Structure 1
Amino acid sequence: MKREFIMALKTNRKVALSLEDKRKGAYERVGSLKLKPGAVLEVHLEQVKFPLFVLKQVFTNEDGSTGVLYLASSDPTLDHERMTTIYHRRWKVEEYHKSLKSNASLAKSPTKTTRTQSNHIFCSIHAFVKLERMRIATKLNHFALRSRLCVKAVQAAFQELQRLQLADDEPMRA
């Protein structure tokens, strides 16, 4: 069973525009390719034995700057739209795993038994769902939310510490 893939390419990866160019060693950087919007180009990647199909996706970042993403696929049947759709779906899964590991502390489980590990996994997924609901409500990403939550927790702890110190400073009553 043959498996196909889609992956992002860095702009400095070297490709040949034909098999003949590859044999001659005539490579050029992916970032220098003149790709038209919506076009998929067959290329030969250096150190890869089979042809790949590359597209250029231009998008606007949240800060208004322009970003460029080069995608490569081993599947010759994919057009520009289908390849970008599949990649974006995969990217959502990557975001989920990264947030689950980094923000919901899935990887930091000190547990040893099956039951406690199951509880930790459940609590991590529950924390992710809560973060996701907060992300939708506040329009902030998980990392920004986590940062805000940590700041609020430190502020609350500091206020409680000050309250306890004030209670210690009061004279004792007989």
Structure 2
Amino acid sequence: MSCTLDLYTDYLISSTGQTSATGLSRLMDGAVSHDQVTRWLSSSYLDSEQVWKQAKPVIRAAEQQRADDDFAVLLVDDSILEKAHTDPSALICTHWDHSKGRFVKGLNFVSLLYQAGELALPIAVELIEKTEAVVDPKTQKIKAKSKYTKNEYLRAMLRVA
């Protein structure tokens, strides 16, 4: 057996705690090794379109069962997964953390969550890559900047969904 998008997303959706390649392997009683999961994740690029394709059938089924006076919401989240000890790259770099009031090194991502009653599903996610070099006018130091604003990422995610 090998790791597939269906297997991996089912694992993520059904997990109630921390997820890992080792955890998926353990759940599958070793039928899929953690190395297979890691290699598959390294070779696959999962974008918002693929996340939406997985979530869409579940959401459409839930919409048909929802009462007319019930409503659903889209929740937007801008998160940073701190990676203080990881070497910097376009993905792992400093980002302003508004909850801490300071810059932190980590992985910044914007996600879109659909929620209706008890159902809550991620429908899109965009990783913030800082690939553009700009000069800070105050310090004259070169800083990295994302090619797109978070607003532009959000609008792109809404177009997918």
TM-score, normalization: structure 1? 0.24
- Between 1 and 2, higher relative CO (CA 8 Å, sep ≥ 6) is seen in 2
Report which of the two structures shows the higher radius of gyration computed on alpha carbons: 1
Q: TM-score, normalised by structure 2?
A: 0.25
Q: Which has a greater percent of helix?
A: 1
Structure ranking higher in strand proportion: 2
